[in-house]
Amino acid sequence: MHKKHLGFSYKNQILHAESVAITDLMAVYGSPLYVYSRMDIENNWREFDQAFGDHPHLVCYAVKANSNLAVLNVLAKLGSGFDIVSIGELERVLVAGGKAGKCVFSGVAKTKIEIERALEVGVRCFNVESASELSRIESVARSVGKQAPISIRVNPNVDAKTHPYISTGLKENKFGVDMSNAIDLYQQAQDSKYLNVQGLDCHIGSQITEVSPFLDALDKVLVLLKQLKDKGIGITHLDLGGGIGIDYEGEQTIDIQNYIDVMISKVENIEIILEPGRAIVGNAGIFMTKVEFLKQNSEHSFAIVDGAMNDLLRPSFYNAYHQVLPINKNAKGIQAHWDLVGPICETGDFLAKNRALSLSEGDYLALMSAGAYGFTMSSNYNTRPRVAEVMVSGTNHQLVRQRESVQDLFAQERLYE
């Protein structure tokens, strides 16, 4: 069972991040605010790493989940690898102290410039998603006189039983190549002196809370692995992607040790790469917001907060659930089933619906499990500055991203003269 919110708990009725009262953080940094627990990030990564024991492996954190430099630096210091999907993510990892030789480069639309830069810094492997991409990587590698390390991402046509927007392993999804086409592509790569076949890659989706889809996909991948071996195509690692779900709403989650044990029992003598993102940072972060107004009518009770869909998109985008906790557990206010709505001029601008809370104007609320796909998906819609990010470690807290100013938002713009 994936542990929930160890870094966040009530002490003397006040919500704390590790040993720091959230009330203190709000006084220093203002609202809205993302708060991350360093302890949770480290513990979650180590849970994956240690579960492998002596089996050769690399845990590549999926940067898209939360790409703050401090988060990446904490993971780089542990020896983490990184799963990147853009040149921007690659440059972030390098600035944060991560090693290019531990980066796997995923994504369906790699440009010539991205491939060149990845080859220049010595990326560990390209996860190739199409025949066209394989040709492009080969031609770039030829032009710079290097050999590009590749693995091909296959689509095992397994239903991950998750939200359709984050399902990636079905034939109707844009990712990967059909299993039936993979052998020809591998043969093509094997025959090229500018490509170096290293791995076999598969990723079926995100927020998956049962182990069977992963094992179904693995079984299909192992059949392909044997076919490749029979053709003399050597694979040195299996990249089995990420997608392990976390507990947002009391979901049963995957026992990571059991999952990895089963995987190792099926895959002997070959390195395994995993790409967890949400499972490392999801429960290690919260989003803080302040109640500005309470508004009730005959049908609904609205708590209008200072955080909005531009700050935390998941509820609007996926209809996702985040547990809402008051900072002060004993707060007295108006008891009702509240919809938490933001300042943006869209009916879809909500953070939570129908939550039994006792609220007063001026209260602070925490949206839990907001460390993954929170800040990274935020925007400046309605000309709203993106919020500050803070990391807590024990009794210490530090600003890891300054709040944007309104002037920052149009600093790159010019009037037409």
User: Cα–Cα distance between 278 and 376 in angstroms, integer?
Assistant: 12
Q: Compute φ and ψ for 329, nearest 5 degrees.
A: -65, -25
The H-or-E segment that residue 33 falls in is strand 33-37
User: Cα–Cα distance between 172 and 388 in angstroms, integer?
Assistant: 38
Q: Which two tokens stand for residue 258?
A: 């059991």
User: Cα–Cα distance between 93 and 123 in angstroms, integer?
Assistant: 11
Closest alpha carbon to 334 in 351, 357, 311? 357
Closest alpha carbon to 251 in 315, 321, 319, 203? 321
Please confirm, yes or no, whether 345 is among the known catalytic residues.
yes
Helices and strands counted in the chain (H then E) = 12, 21
The H-or-E segment that residue 121 falls in is helix 112-121
DSSP strand pairing (324-326 vs 350-359): unpaired
Q: What are the C-alpha distances in Å from 17 to residues 290, 306, 389?
A: 17, 21, 13
Catalytic residue among 60, 125, 202, 345: 345
User: Cα–Cα distance between 91 and 163 in angstroms, integer?
Assistant: 30
Closest alpha carbon to 270 in 222, 231, 232? 222
Q: What beta strand segments (E) does 121-160 contain?
A: 125-128, 148-155
User: Cα–Cα distance between 272 and 221 in angstroms, integer?
Assistant: 13
User: Cα–Cα distance between 403 and 394 in angstroms, integer?
Assistant: 23
Which amino acids are annotated catalytic?
Answer: 345
